[in-house]
Amino acid sequence: MDVDPNHFATADDGAIYPQPWMQLRRVGVARVAAKSGNYGVSGGQNKNDLLQTVQVNWENDSPIPAQVWGRVTRGGSKVTLQATSRGGIVHQHGYATEAGPIKLTDASMLAVGLNIGRGGILQTGTAFGITEVRQPRCTTYLCPDKTGLVTLQPGDTFYSRVDVRFVTSIWEGTDPDGGAAGSESTYSAGELILELFALPLIPAPS
């Protein structure tokens, strides 16, 4: 029996079995460890700090077109800020089918903020207040703002990247009234995992 070698292979004993690319398969994975940090509770300015970055590229090494999609898993995360700072952990996703810089867009944000007014006789200080937000481990699609799967022809490459940043829109520059004891501005970004999967693209019967 003749079989299409792009789709099936024949064993020595005559058994026919599908080629390995004729099924859903994980074709790439990368991960980076969790990262935590803290900032002084007074002074400084708005933050836009890169915490983690991960990139996975995959070349379609099969003789038929493949459809590619990605999955991003992030470990448990936490942001704790003093009043009146506002900000958090931003995940930025991007992919491309041509070599070069990958355009990233915001995919999610774990953020918090607390404004409890000003203290002191002249109301120029910061009132004491701590606010915190937590998120458990979760998994999302790569680039959730885009729909559909990306089709790769044989020999084409899929480039993907995820950045994690600590970004603020307001950063308090003064100590709380009465001192900064017990105040904190910290973050904890969980382990970051980026996976790519491929499906065979089978042409419709003519």
Report pLDDT digits (tens) over 117-128: 666 566 667 888
Using the CB atoms, write b or e for 117-127: b if 16+ within 10 Å: eebeeeeeebb
Does the model's pTM come out above 0.85?
yes
Residue spans of the chain under pLDDT 70:
1-2, 117-124, 204-206
Quote the pLDDT of residue 5.
80
Count, residues in the chain? 206
Quote the pLDDT of residue 41.
79
Q: What is the DSSP letter of 176?
A: B
How do the domains of the chain map onto residue ranges?
22-200
Rounded Cα gap, residues 155 and 35, in angstroms: 36
How many CA atoms are closer than 13 Å to the CA of 73, on its beta-carbon side?
11
Quote the pLDDT of residue 206.
62
Beta strands in the chain (DSSP E): 8-10, 16-18, 25-32, 35-39, 48-59, 66-74, 77-82, 86-96, 105-113, 118-119, 125-126, 130-135, 138-141, 150-152, 157-170, 185-189, 192-200
Quote the pLDDT of residue 1.
55
Could you tell me if 32 and 194 are in contact, meaning their C-beta atoms sit under 8 angstroms apart?
no
Quote the pLDDT of residue 122.
66
